Amino acid sequence: MTRPREPKDLKRRYVSIGVTILIGAVLMTAAGNFLSRRDEGELAHVLLLAFGIMAGLAAVFFFRDFLEPRQLTRADREIADSAFSRALSGRGERPSMASPAAAELPQLDGYNLYEATFVSSVDGSEEPVIVGHPDNIPHGDKGHEPRPLLVGLHSWSTDRYSATKQQSKEAADRGWFAVYPQFRGPNLISNPRASQACASLLAQHDIIDAVEYMKDNFPIDQRRIYIMGGSGGGHIALMMAGKYPDVWAGVSAWVPITSLQEWWEQQNGYAKHIEACCGGKPGDSEEVDFEYLRRSPRTFITNAANTPVRISHGQMDNCIYVQQTWKTFCELANMPGHQISFFSDSTGHHADYAAGASWLESKVRNSKPPQAQRLVTDEAKWYFWCYVGPAEERSLAQVKAGLVEEDGEILLEVKCKGASETKIDLRALGIKVKGEPGEMEDQVLIIRPDNPEAESSYSYPAVRP
């Protein structure tokens, strides 16, 4: 969006105008005095010189702001965040985090919203969430018909209160359960836990812990768990689509950041906050570069190919360029049949959560397992029926695994690189492997390459039980 001028910018401009006019007046007076003593030829040269000096000075004073790179100030970011919140919710300006009004939750007929906490499954910290549920289904009562769950994610510079205000009406209108996690707070240098925010592993696990909290306390329809966010919330929504594709029935991501390095390269004022989250600038060290990579949805977008995902990004977005998102979507070009859609229109940095919820409500997680996966992971975990463990702590493991059917024969084909261990749950995939495939444990095929850094290929004849 266009940067509004601050009062100090206007003051500097008025001073510049005054100085320019004063210098012009002095030069023109000198030229007039010269006229009375010199012939016309000399006068023309002097006037030309005077006008040239005036033009140069005017250019320097008037356009100095545009010739030098300028970082967005805190005020700029607050204006941008406020405008984004108004566009999302239509409820006027978002109160700042320090405002008492920030803690006021929406009052919705027949719907309860309140604060709760859970204990992180990773570091044992107590993490806050806001819980939403219909009045007639109290906390702890799991005897009712299961209902969908909406996980609402806050944007880059905000918190769980903002997400609640923007999305809770959509959940309440549909009778859904909802949870709005904090996932370590805003991605800002002012956040003492900035390095734990911004789609870190801790932030990701906080979101999954929030889902588990809801499943433990309410009758959640596990085939209809949705996740939605805009801007920074769209960023982590896509991350969760890539890292936990088997959890979601649908993912709605609006104007997301999909490559932290490319967003940092825009130098639009958020760069120092990205640095605070990732530990430095791109190129500072291999560790820093890996943080930029592991916190970017583009790295894991192929993991989400079997999950319904809708990415929406306005063409006129000057905060996060739409070309970044399109480039990420194109990573799926060689994956026919993927379930990720890309939508763009003539809007800018804008999200429509009502439209997102309308799209989500028709989605039900497929009970049939995907027949093929192309996985990238930075941590050891399961993806549907495939487990991948990276060979090194700060590295990516890549696995392509799936069923190929030719001439009535079924082959399980697996290719892996950078993975010390790959497991295939044959029962979950719905097959049995013929003969003696190697290491097996309770219908789980285990592959441990001799040289994990080199690409290894495996093929197993299989049948369907």
The sheet carrying 444-447 orders its strands as 381-383, 386-390, 419-425, 444-447, 440-441
Q: What is the pLDDT of residues 317-364, one digit of tens each?
A: 999 999 999 999 999 999 999 999 999 999 999 999 999 999 999 999
Q: What is the pLDDT of residue 103?
A: 56
Q: Give yes or no for a contact between 88 and 146, defined as CB atoms under 8 angstroms apart.
A: no
Q: What is the pLDDT of residue 128?
A: 98
The sheet carrying 456-463 orders its strands as 372-377, 397-406, 409-417, 456-463, 432-433
Q: What is the pLDDT of residue 407?
A: 87
pLDDT band at 18 (very low <50, low <70, confident <90, very high): low
Q: What is the pLDDT of residue 42?
A: 57
pTM (predicted TM-score):
0.81
Position 464 pLDDT exceeds 90: yes
Please classify residue 46 by burial: count the beta carbons closer than 10 Å to its beta carbon, then call 0-12 exposed, 13-18 middle and 19+ buried. Answer: middle
Q: What is the pLDDT of residue 439?
A: 95
CA gap 174, 106 in Å, rounded: 16
Position 94 pLDDT exceeds 90: no
N-terminal to C-terminal alpha carbon distance within the chain: 58
Q: What is the pLDDT of residue 5?
A: 34
Q: What is the pLDDT of residue 104?
A: 85
Q: Which of 50-59, 144-153, 343-352, 437-446 has the lowest mean pLDDT?
A: 50-59
pLDDT band at 72 (very low <50, low <70, confident <90, very high): very low
Q: What is the pLDDT of residue 406?
A: 87
CA gap 131, 213 in Å, rounded: 10
Q: What is the pLDDT of residues 268-283, one digit of tens each?
A: 999 999 999 999 999 9
Phi, psi of 417 (to 5 degrees): -150, 130
Q: What is the pLDDT of residue 69?
A: 36
Q: What is the pLDDT of residue 377?
A: 98
Report the share of the chain in percent with pLDDT over 70.
Answer: 78
CA gap 145, 224 in Å, rounded: 13
Q: What is the pLDDT of residues 95-118, one digit of tens each?
A: 333 333 445 899 999 999 999 999
Q: What is the pLDDT of residues 374-408, one digit of tens each?
A: 999 999 999 999 999 999 999 999 999 999 998 88
Residue 62: both structure tokens together:
């008037």
Residue 329 makes CB contacts below 8 A (sequence gap 6+) with 301, 311, 340, 342
Q: What is the pLDDT of residue 88?
A: 44
Q: What is the pLDDT of residue 54?
A: 59
Residue 177: both structure tokens together:
């359960």
Q: What is the pLDDT of residues 407-450, one digit of tens each?
A: 889 999 999 999 999 999 999 999 999 988 999 999 999 999 99
CA gap 441, 462 in Å, rounded: 17
Q: What is the pLDDT of residue 53?
A: 57
Q: What average pLDDT is seen over the chain?
A: 86
